[in-house]
Structure 1
Amino acid sequence: MNITKKDIDTLNAVVTVDIKKEDYSDKVQSVLNNYRKTANIPGFRKGHVPMGMVQKQYGKAVLVEEVNKILQDSLHNFLTEEKLDVLGNPLPKNEMEIDWNTDDFSFEFDLGLSPKFDVDVKAKTITNYKIVADDKMLDNQVKTIRKQYGKLISKKEVAKEDEITGTFTSSEKNIENKATLSTEVVKGKKQLSALLGAKVGDTVTLKTKGMFGDDHDNQKYLGVEHEDAHGLDIEVSLKIEEVNKRELADMNQEFFDKLFGEGVVSSEAELKAKIKEDAEKQFEQQSDQKLLNDVVESLIDNTKFELPGAFLQRWIQMSGEKPLTEEEAKAEYERSEKGLRYQLIEGKIRNENKIQVTFDELKAHSREMIKGQMAQFGQMNPSDEELDNIASRILSNEEEVKRISEQLNTNKLLQFFKENAKLKTKEITYEKFIKEAYE
Structure 2
Amino acid sequence: MNITKAQVDALNAIITIAITKEDYSDKVEKVLADYRKNAAISGFRKGAVPMSLIQKQYGKAVLLDEVNKILQASLNDYLTTEKLDILGNPLPKMTEDFNWDNENLSFEFELGLAPQFSVDLTAKNNVIKFNVIADDKMLNDQVERIQKQYGKLISQAEVKADYEVRGTFTNEEKGINAPANFALDIFADKKVAKSFVGKKVGDVVAVGTKGLFDDDHKLMDYLKVAHDDVHGLDITVDFTIEEINAVEKAELNQELFDKLFGPGVIASVEDLKAKIKEDAEAQFAQQADQKFLNDVTDFLIESTKFDLPETFLKKWIKTVTETPLTDEQAEEEFAKAEKGLRFQLIEGKVMAENNLQITFEDLKAHTAELIKKQMAQFGQLNPSEDEINGIVARVMSNQDEVKRLSEQVMSEKMLGLYKEKVKAKSKEVNYEQFIKEMYGE
**TMscore range, shorter length:** over 0.9
Contact 1:313 1:330 in 2 (8 A): yes
Identity of aligned residues (%): 57
- Rounded Cα–Cα distance in structure 2 between residues aligned with 1:170 and 1:366: 43
Tell me which residue corresponds to 1:32.
Answer: 32
SS of residue paired to 1:42:
coil
Contact 1:112 1:312 in 2 (8 A): yes
Q: Does 1:289 align with 2:251?
A: no
Quick one: which amino acid aligns to residue 39 of structure 1? Answer: A
Distance 1:365 1:267, change over 3 A: same
SS of residue paired to 2:365:
helix
The gaps in structure 1 that reach 5 residues or longer are: none
Contact 2:358 2:409 in 1 (8 A): yes
Distance 1:252 1:40, change over 3 A: same
Shift in Å at residue 337 of structure 1? 1.4
Tell me which residue corresponds to 1:353.
Answer: 354
Q: CA RMSD in A?
A: 2.5
Q: Residues 9-61 of structure 1, C-alpha deviation per residue, up to 9 Å, x if partnerless?
A: 11111110000000011000000110010000000000111111111111111
Distance 1:206 1:328, change over 3 A: closer
Tell me which residue corresponds to 2:16.
Answer: 16
The gaps in structure 2 that reach 5 residues or longer are: none
SS of residue paired to 1:121:
coil
Aligned residues: 439
What is the TM-score of this pair, normalised by structure 1?
0.92
- Rounded Cα–Cα distance in structure 2 between residues aligned with 1:66 and 1:343: 35
Quick one: which amino acid aligns to residue 94 of structure 2? Answer: N
Shift in Å at residue 262 of structure 1? 1.1
Tell me which residue corresponds to 1:93.
Answer: 93
Distance 1:243 1:371, change over 3 A: closer
1:18-417 matches, within 5 Å, as 18-124=18-124, 125-166=126-167, 179-198=180-199, 206-215=207-216, 231=232, 233=234, 240=241, 242-417=243-418
SS of residue paired to 1:243:
strand
Contact 1:5 1:16 in 2 (8 A): yes
Shift in Å at residue 238 of structure 1? 5.4
Contact 2:139 2:273 in 1 (8 A): yes
Distance 1:108 1:233, change over 3 A: closer
- Rounded Cα–Cα distance in structure 2 between residues aligned with 1:300 and 1:204: 49
SS of residue paired to 2:342:
helix
Shift in Å at residue 221 of structure 1? 5.4
- Rounded Cα–Cα distance in structure 1 between residues aligned with 2:293 and 2:305: 20
SS of residue paired to 1:427:
strand
Quick one: which amino acid aligns to residue 67 of structure 2? Answer: V
Contact 1:166 1:239 in 2 (8 A): yes
Contact 2:161 2:194 in 1 (8 A): no
Of 358-367 and 157-166, deviating more is 157-166
Shift in Å at residue 376 of structure 1? 3.1
What is the TM-score of this pair, normalised by structure 2?
0.92
Quick one: which amino acid aligns to residue 88 of structure 1? Answer: G
Shift in Å at residue 251 of structure 1? 0.6
Distance 1:158 1:112, change over 3 A: same
Contact 2:12 2:309 in 1 (8 A): yes
Shift in Å at residue 230 of structure 1? 5.5
- Rounded Cα–Cα distance in structure 2 between residues aligned with 1:153 and 1:8: 80
Quick one: which amino acid aligns to residue 22 of structure 1? Answer: E
Tell me which residue corresponds to 2:422.
Answer: 421
Quick one: which amino acid aligns to residue 119 of structure 1? Answer: V
- Rounded Cα–Cα distance in structure 1 between residues aligned with 2:209 and 2:111: 59
Contact 1:181 1:221 in 2 (8 A): no
Shift in Å at residue 202 of structure 1? 6.0
SS of residue paired to 1:319:
coil
- Rounded Cα–Cα distance in structure 2 between residues aligned with 1:436 and 1:175: 27
Q: Residues 309-358 of structure 1, C-alpha deviation per residue, up to 9 Å, x if partnerless?
A: 11111111222223311111112112211211111111001011111110
Quick one: which amino acid aligns to residue 85 of structure 1? Answer: D
Q: Residues 102-136 of structure 1, C-alpha deviation per residue, up to 9 Å, x if partnerless?
A: 10100011111111111101223421000000000
SS of residue paired to 1:116:
coil
Shift in Å at residue 174 of structure 1? 9.0
- Rounded Cα–Cα distance in structure 1 between residues aligned with 2:76 and 2:174: 61
Distance 1:219 1:351, change over 3 A: closer
Contact 1:203 1:240 in 2 (8 A): yes
Of 42-51 and 232-241, deviating more is 232-241
Quick one: which amino acid aligns to residue 41 of structure 1? Answer: I
- Rounded Cα–Cα distance in structure 2 between residues aligned with 1:237 and 1:344: 50
SS of residue paired to 1:318:
coil
Contact 2:40 2:46 in 1 (8 A): yes
Contact 2:257 2:272 in 1 (8 A): yes
SS of residue paired to 2:155:
strand
SS of residue paired to 1:262:
coil
